[in-house]
Structure 1
Amino acid sequence: MDELFIGSAICEVTGGGEILLPRSFRETALARSPDGRLLVGMHEESPCLVVYDRIFAAQQQWDLETRRTSFLGAKPEAHYSRLRRAFGLVEQIVLTPDGMITLAPPMRQSGQIGSSAMLVATGQRFEIWDLDLVLESADADLIALATFHLKLRIVDEERHDPSLHSAESRRCAVRAAQSGLRLQHMPAMRPRHDPIGGTANDQLEDRPQGISRRLEEY
């Protein structure tokens, strides 16, 4: 299949484990799996999750079977351990039309995914890393990638007028009430993501305030 996952992004994760995929990730996922059915599991070596489609799963099974003799010759348990990791410790997820996937609590806990995640494309699948775990890792490439995205986010936020502080919001609410104006509640916002090469305009319900400070802390 020609459609490959390319690029990376930082995404915010809701309390329910929802992640809004960047457009390029969403389009590639639907091209590879038109019905939106995907698989998510643990990476073979790294402390992260991987998302892929059934075609890749079939190819992975074929690869493991063709190398079965070499695995059984040296360490027999290594072969079966890889099979369990590839097909047993996996959950099915569905990509919604607007590009949302949801990580179940057990899978999210297995991948140590917190309130912010970094997506890294690897061709036929993509990885989901916890952002804090990346910044604390020893992988220089991942750290550089995460730092780049955080800088993009800070620049993007500085380009927009700051939102009203809570105190100012309360004063505006009081003035509106005194003037007889009716206050209208705004609908909940969707998760946002910042893909490489640009910044998405998606917003997040109850957006974590600490994500834009991670670069300064790091």
Structure 2
Amino acid sequence: MALEHLFQGSALNTVDAKGRVSVPAFLRQVIERRGDSRSIVLAKHEQFACLGAYDPAYAALKHAKLERLLEKEETNADAQLEYQQRNLMAFAATEEVPYDTSGRIVLPPMMRRKGGIADLALFLGTGETFQIWNPKTFLEDPRIPEDMKDIARYRLEERGVA
């Protein structure tokens, strides 16, 4: 099942003391094109020190991907355990948050902690999903390509933060 609408682009938004942040309009448009929901599912990213985010309809696609991985590894004795571990991370360690008419969500405290989100949130479209980073963490991660770091620096300069 291919997704017709993909998340792309970047933005930097302020997070207030209560954890409220505006989700960029270009990301909300994709969520609304994919379904009727006006909410976002947040999870700790599997590889990076950030949050992964997606629309609720994507959860079914994510589950199907995990099932296919298990089918490929049925002969592997550790496959079932790995499948269960991935399912826990993919579904138990998530929170669905609605956004209001102005596009604001409240980042739950656990998700802020898991993603290391403080007073700024860097939103990055990554195709099927998008990521929410603390821009400082993003710039310090040696696995991030320099061209992407330059985009983050530009977003910080735009806000007069750099």
Normalization by structure 2: what TM-score? Answer: 0.87
> 1:42 aligns to what?
44
- Point out where structure 2 has 5 or more consecutive residues left out of the alignment: none
> 1:149 aligns to what?
155
The 5 Å alignment of 1:1-218 reads 1-71=3-73, 73=76, 75-76=78-79, 77-138=81-142, 139=144, 140-154=146-160, 212=161, 215=162
Q: CA RMSD in A?
A: 1.7
Aligned pairs, how many?
A: 156
Q: Distance in 1 between matches of 2:44 and 2:32?
A: 21
Q: Distance in 2 between matches of 1:71 and 1:126?
A: 28
Deviation of 1:82 after TM superposition, in Å, equals 1.0
User: What secondary structure, in the 3-state scheme, does the structure 2 residue paired with 1:5 have?
Assistant: coil
User: What secondary structure, in the 3-state scheme, does the structure 1 residue paired with 2:57 have?
Assistant: helix
Asked if the contact 1:44–1:82 (Cα under 8 Å) also holds between the matched residues in 2, the reply is no
1:167-188 residue CA offsets vs partner (Å, 9 max, x unmatched): xxxxxxxxxxxxxxxxxxxxxx
Deviation of 1:71 after TM superposition, in Å, equals 4.6
Deviation of 1:153 after TM superposition, in Å, equals 2.9
Identity %: 29
Q: Which runs of 4+ in 1 moved over 3 A?
A: 69-72
1:96-138 residue CA offsets vs partner (Å, 9 max, x unmatched): 1111111111111111111111000012221000111112221
Normalization by structure 1: what TM-score? Answer: 0.66
What letter corresponds to residue 34 of structure 1 in structure 2?
Answer: D
- Point out where structure 1 has 5 or more consecutive residues left out of the alignment: 155-211
